[in-house]
Amino acid sequence: MDKAYAIMHKGAVHLNMFFTSEEKARNWIKMTYPKRRFKEPIHNKFICAYYGTTFTIVELSKHPVG
């Protein structure tokens, strides 16, 4: 696995969860909070229209050292 994705909330990884694809992370947000309406002004940045809660999907990639 070369890439992993994490959902960031308030500067930390949300619930210490990592995903193998961007689409799985997006679906997790939408299925966990089905009653919230999210705006997505920037790709992979979800902002709740009512509460203002922000979730950002970040790609974590493996970089060789040296």
Q: Count CB atoms within 10 A of the CB of residue 59.
A: 11
pLDDT tier for residue 65 given thresholds of 50, 70 and 90 = low
For residue 22, the tally of other CB atoms under 10 A from its CB is 15
24-53: pLDDT as tens digits: 999 999 999 999 999 999 999 999 999 999
Euclidean distance between CA atoms 16 and 34, whole angstroms: 21
Would you state the pLDDT for residue 32?
Answer: 96
Contact call for residues 55 and 29 (beta carbons, < 8 A): yes
Q: Kindly give, in sequence order, each residue whose CB lies less than 8 Å from that of residue 59, ignoring residues fewer than 6 positions away.
A: 3, 4, 5, 22
Residue-level pLDDT at 61: 77
pTM of the full structure: 0.85
Rama region for 44: left / alpha / beta (φ>0; ψ in -120 to 50; rest): left
pLDDT at 2 over 90: no
